[in-house]
Amino acid sequence: MDESKRDTPIDLARIDAHVVSDREYEEVPELTDADFARGVWMPGGGDASAAARQLIDDDVLDRFRATGPGWERRINRILRDAAEALGPI
């Protein structure tokens, strides 16, 4: 198995095949202007990796990816520590 993939007990094919019913849509609250104001625009349609590639040098990302699964959490921890060193977040 590719190291970037993890075993999951979830039946992804079943999830992909699910058709959302009108009743399920009714359960979702309507988004307000305040909700959208709290949102973060992500270049690339919400792909965090694509957004990071635009903001972080490729060689830096490649170095973290080379450390294996969990690299995103590790880079986040390092960035958080650096941000906290600048003052309260």
Domains of the chain: which residue ranges?
12-86
**Is residue 1's pLDDT more than 50?**
no
Question: Which residue has better confidence, 3 or 66?
Answer: 66
What are 25-59's pLDDT values in tens digits?
888 888 888 888 887 766 556 666 666 666 788 88
pLDDT at 63: 92
Q: What is the percentage of the chain residues whose pLDDT exceeds 70?
A: 75
Place of tokens 């995103």: 72
Which residue type, as a one-letter code, is found at position 19?
V
Q: For residue 11, what pLDDT is reported?
A: 83
Which residues, in sequence order, are CB contacts of 74 under 8 Å at separation 6+? Answer: 64, 67
* pLDDT at residue 65 greater than cutoff 80: yes
